[in-house]
Amino acid sequence: MTGILVFRRSAVDALRDMLDAFGELLPLEDEGGVELFAYNPRALEALDHVQSKGWRNDKGTLDVVGRHVFFPSVVEGVDIFRQKDKPRGVIYLSDRFVQRWKQAKLKGLDFILAWDSELPPEKQPNVWTSKPIKL
């Protein structure tokens, strides 16, 4: 996911514990009175810039990541986050989040595997060529 997440009440009800634990829900209301919630996830320094692969700028800094490698000690037990240096960037979701989404039969999001903690860095999926996860 990139940018911002906006949820309906049914999604908030199904995911409330994760949403509260890992970010901030901001109430909204559309012209028709539909209750919506914008979600601002916590920002973490989770990406291993040395092991991750992608497009690097002239200074060697990763600008666009294709193969993600995260620091397990930072992301362990975290269900939702974004990179601290990318405030409007990609929002990363845990497998637990995806499974809860599926169990609640929610719609509106596609998920692509960005990182598998059990794979070595060179075997991580390439998000540019990966297909969405089948729910």
Number of domains, the chain: 1
Query: Would you report the helix, strand and coil content of the chain in percent, each value rounded to 5?
Result: 20, 30, 45
Residue 131 falls inside a structural domain: no
Residue 95 falls inside a structural domain: yes
Phi, psi torsion values for 102, nearest 5 degrees: -65, -45
Nearest of 70, 53, 49, 79 to residue 115 by alpha carbon: 70
Residue 133 falls inside a structural domain: no
Claim: this prediction has a pTM higher than 0.85:
yes
Q: What is the pLDDT of residue 51?
A: 94
Q: Which helix (H) or strand (E) holds 101?
A: helix 95-103
Cβ atoms of residues 80 and 42 within 8 Å: yes
pLDDT at 30 over 80: no
Residue 128 falls inside a structural domain: no
Cβ atoms of residues 37 and 26 within 8 Å: yes
Query: Could you list the residue range(s) of the whole structural domain that residue 48 is in?
Result: 5-123
Residue 130 falls inside a structural domain: no
Q: How confident is the model at residue 128 (pLDDT cuts 50, 70, 90)?
A: confident
Residue 73 falls inside a structural domain: yes
Phi, psi torsion values for 122, nearest 5 degrees: -70, -15
Give the pLDDT confidence of 49-95 residue by residue, as tens digits: 999 999 999 998 888 899 999 999 999 999 999 999 887 889 999 99
Residue 13 falls inside a structural domain: yes
